[in-house]
Structure 1
Amino acid sequence: MFRIGEFSKLTQVSIRMLRYYDEQGLLKPSKTDPITGYRSYTAEQIPVLQRIIFLRDLDFQVSEIALALAHWQDRPITDLLEHKRLELLDEMAKIQERVDKIDIAVKDVQSRKLDVHCNVILKSVPELSVLSLRRRIPDHFCEGNLWLELNRFVTEEHVALDSGVNNLALFYDEKEADTEVDVEVCCLVKKAGIGRGDFVYRLIAAEERMACVMVYGPYQNIGTAYHTFAKWLEEHRYYEMRDPVRQICHLGPFNEEDPKRYLTEIQVPLQRRD
Structure 2
Amino acid sequence: MFTIGDFAHLGRVSVRMLRHYDAVGLLPPAHVDPGSGYRFYTAAQLHRLNRLVALKDLGLTLEQVRVMLDEELSVEQLHGMLSLRRAELRQQIVADSARLRRVEARLRAIEKEGAMPADDVVVKPVPSARIARLTATAASYGPEDIGPVIQPLYPELLSRVERAGVPITGYGIATYEPAESDAVLVRAGVTVSVDPSDAYDFEVVDLPALAQAATIVHRGLMDDVDATYQAVATWIEANGYRQNGFAREVYLNYGDGDPADWVTELQLEIVKP
Q: TM-score, normalised by structure 2?
A: 0.63
**Match of residue 115 from structure 1:** 115
Task: Sort the Cα spacing of 1:152 and 1:58 in 2 relative to 1 into closer, same or farther, 3 A.
Answer: same
Task: Sort the Cα spacing of 1:95 and 1:232 in 2 relative to 1 into closer, same or farther, 3 A.
Answer: same
Task: Sort the Cα spacing of 1:84 and 1:248 in 2 relative to 1 into closer, same or farther, 3 A.
Answer: same
- Percent identical residues: 18
**Match of residue 265 from structure 2:** 265
**Match of residue 140 from structure 1:** 146
Task: Sort the Cα spacing of 1:87 and 1:127 in 2 relative to 1 into closer, same or farther, 3 A.
Answer: same
**Match of residue 89 from structure 2:** 88
**Match of residue 169 from structure 1:** 174
Question: SS where residue 76 of structure 1 aligns?
Answer: helix
Matched AA of 1:92? I
**Match of residue 247 from structure 2:** 245
Alignment partners' CA distance in 2, 1:59 and 1:251: 49
- The Cα shift of 1:103 comes to 4.8
Contact 2:132 2:205 in 1 (8 A): yes
**Match of residue 20 from structure 1:** none
Matched AA of 1:216? R
Alignment partners' CA distance in 2, 1:114 and 1:195: 49
**Match of residue 68 from structure 1:** none
Contact 2:126 2:211 in 1 (8 A): yes
Task: Sort the Cα spacing of 1:105 and 1:205 in 2 relative to 1 into closer, same or farther, 3 A.
Answer: closer
- The Cα shift of 1:109 comes to 5.8
Residues 43-82 of structure 1, C-alpha deviation per residue, up to 9 Å, x if partnerless? xxxxxxxxxxx7997289xxxxxxxxxxxx9993542332
User: Which structure has the bigger radius of gyration?
Assistant: 2
Superposition RMSD on alpha carbons, in Å?
3.4
How many residues were matched structurally?
A: 203
Contact 1:172 1:245 in 2 (8 A): no
Unpaired runs of 5+ residues, structure 2, are 1-54, 62-72, 140-144
Residue 229 of structure 1 pairs with residue 232 of structure 2: yes
Alignment partners' CA distance in 2, 1:208 and 1:242: 11
Alignment partners' CA distance in 1, 2:123 and 2:165: 35
**Match of residue 45 from structure 1:** none
Question: SS where residue 97 of structure 2 aligns?
Answer: helix
- The Cα shift of 1:124 comes to 0.5
Alignment partners' CA distance in 1, 2:242 and 2:263: 25
Alignment partners' CA distance in 2, 1:166 and 1:152: 16
Alignment partners' CA distance in 1, 2:85 and 2:184: 27
Residues 102-130 of structure 1, C-alpha deviation per residue, up to 9 Å, x if partnerless? 456657766x5872335111111112111
Task: Sort the Cα spacing of 1:156 and 1:224 in 2 relative to 1 into closer, same or farther, 3 A.
Answer: same
**Match of residue 19 from structure 1:** none
Alignment partners' CA distance in 2, 1:58 and 1:204: 51
Matched AA of 1:192? D
Alignment partners' CA distance in 2, 1:107 and 1:241: 24
